Structure 1
C-alpha cells in the first residue's frame, strides 16, 4: 500500500484530524515506514511456530500471602499540615 497525499487526506477526514502543511511530507514518510514494516511482518511464516500463551512453563507461580506491617499511613500523616488520629484535617468547603 502506497501512502500518498490523497490517502493522507482521507485518513485526516476519518480521524477528524488536521495535519499542518509543513508536517504532511514527514507524516507520509512515517506512515509509509509503518506500512512497510507491517508488510515485512506479514511475510513471516508462522505455521511451524508453537503458540505461546505465557513465558513460564506450568503457569504463573503463586507467591505466599504475607502481612506487611508497614507504618506508611503514620509516616504520611506526619508530613501533613494537620491530622487527628488516622485522618487528615482539611478546611471546610460546604457551609
Structure 2
C-alpha cells in the first residue's frame, strides 16, 4: 500500500490534523515506511508459534525476601546521632 496525497488528505480529516505543505512529503515518506514495515510483518509464517499472552510462563517469579545485614548499615548507624536497633531515632514533632 502506497501513501499518496489523496490518502494523506483523508488521514488529515480523520485525525483532525493539518499538515504544513513543507512537511507533507516527509510525512508521506514516513507513513509509507511504516506501512511497508507492517506489510513485511504480515508475510511472516506464524502458524508454528503459539499465542503469547504473557512473557512469563507459570506466573511471576518471586525472589526470596532475605534480610542482608552488612557493615554499611552498622557504619551509617554508628555515625548517626541517635539510633535504636537498626533504625534512626528522631525527635517527635507531632503531639
Structures share a fold, TM > 0.5? yes
Question: Could you list the runs of 4 or more consecutive aligned residues of structure 1 that deviate by over 4 angstroms after TM superposition?
Answer: 63-66
Alignment TM-score, normalising by the size of structure 2: 0.62
Unaligned runs of 5+ in 1: 75-83, 87-95
RMSD after superposition = 2.8
Question: What's the counterpart of residue 27 of structure 2?
Answer: 27
Q: Deviations over 1:40-67 (max 9, x none)?
A: 000011010123333333221234579x
Structure 1 residues 23 and 63: alpha-carbon distance in aligned structure 2, compared to 1, 3 A threshold: same
Higher relative contact order (CA 8 A, sep 6+): 2
Does residue 50 of the first structure (1) align with residue 50 of the second (2)? Answer: yes
TM-score by length of 1: 0.62
Unpaired runs of at least 5, structure 2? 67-85
Task: State how far apart, in whole Å, the 2-side matches of 1:14 and 1:49 are.
Answer: 36
Paired positions, count = 73
